[in-house]
Amino acid sequence: MSGNIELLSTTLAAAEAEDRAALIAYLPAGFPTVDGGIEAVKAVIAGGADVVEIGLPHSDPVLDGPVIQTADDIALRGGVRIADVMRTVREAYEATGVPILVMTYWNPIDRYGVERFTAELAEAGGAGCILPDLPVQESALWREHADKHGLATVFVVAPSSQDARLATITAAGSGFVYAASLMGVTGTRASVGAQAQELVGRTRATTDLPVCVGLGVSNAEQAAEVAGFADGVIVGSAFVKAMLDAPDEAAGLDAVRSLAGELAQGVRKR
């Protein structure tokens, strides 16, 4: 079975045709439980998310801030496994038809086996992977298997990336480019800043892929700001915080559905 890279591309193109940015939501698998995590993904999609990233919880994250680390700890203590991540992708995709990616550090894939991971992700209906710590120059094996199985390879660029480096990264990627809005880890912030807009402009000069911005967006106003210059707005910590702050799982689902609705309106106000 082939993965859903084409669905990802057509979804992002459809948002562009509507003269808006796509809303991309991030939630970790297994949080607060595997079943609860699946319901949370369905809730953000019901609220208006166009694309969802499923985080593969990791004990030694390099990009994730304290909010997502807390959720990952809960998932890991609950015994979440890669099989649960694949189940989350499958059930969310089958229930909604929305493109679902996995965001993961390289070590779990390397231990699991690249061929096995890509084959299972494609079979589950996944659209691809975001790989924040896989160097492009070491990505040939991954890209070979991702291409074979119809999966996008999304690399992360940062404000520190030089123009020549940006060109190397974007030439190797597919699906979209993940532009980190600032140097640092994930988390909600008071402002997203001009660094992100400059990075999007420099990245666009090297590629025709959509450029989607993450790290720091937490409300409709920030979503509208980023939607003014990016093809997609990525929101993670705000959704996770809404779940963490809720008194129970049902309230958490209501909170992320509502937040997705607000953000979906925001990305339409570019």
Q: Could you say which DSSP state residue 18 is in?
A: T
Query: Which residue among 53, 120, 225, 231 is the active-site one?
Result: 53
d(CA 80, CA 38): 13
CB of 176 closer than 8 Å to CB of 7? no
> What single-letter amino acid sits at 108?
P
Query: Residue ranges of the alpha helices (H) in the chain?
Result: 5-17, 34-47, 66-77, 82-96, 106-112, 114-123, 140-148, 163-172, 194-204, 220-227, 237-245, 249-267
Characterise 89 by phi-psi region: left (phi > 0), alpha (psi -120 to 50), beta (else): alpha
53 is catalytic: yes
CB of 178 closer than 8 Å to CB of 154? yes
d(CA 221, CA 123): 38
d(CA 168, CA 171): 5
Of 215, 187, 190, 210, nearest to 200 (Cα)? 210
Query: Which residue among 39, 50, 64, 120 is the active-site one?
Result: 64
Residue 159 CB-density burial (10 A; 0-12 exposed, 13-18 middle, 19+ buried): middle
120 is catalytic: no
Question: Catalytic residue numbers?
Answer: 53, 64
